Structure 1
């Protein structure tokens, strides 16, 4: 948390080990984001499935509950804003299951889409 270069725009690569203690949004049954606890504290894990919001909904509905209580190793990008979080890349569990997240893919896709819309939108008027 004391690293001044960890910002919402420029994250720091991290590898954390700990236990999944719950969902990112407590009580939201369809949420795909999780919370990790390690020896230093609790951090929010931001998860994005390849299929976008529909995939996140399905993961939260069917598989996120199964991850609670698992010992995990997480690789991702630590970001710091109003609250710290990790944009998840890979999460390996002690149960032999691996979860891949595609946050960078969706960030790039939405950015390119916004630029394309910026070129198309003015020509409509």
Structure 2
């Protein structure tokens, strides 16, 4: 009985650890994202791509993209120092060398950590 309670108490912690946006609040969608300040993309699933910029995480708004998986490599067509709404990208999943159909970014939603209230 004690083990079951301990395991149940840890479930919210495990869920938060698996969700990179847990404990964060979405801000207004932005049209562009600076390439030089963001880390490599983290593909969560066929509709979710995350980019990190320091403590902030951006979720790329996209429609379902055929061939996009957590193991994909993105090929992004960028025209300047930023990725912007409307820019095209394709996904390649090894060992295949054939990229997916073109997909487009619809914008980027910033997520910031919620500050703990004191007092």
Same fold, judged at TM 0.5 (above): no
Larger Rg: 2
- Greater helix content: 1
Give the TM-score normalised by the residue count of structure 2: 0.32
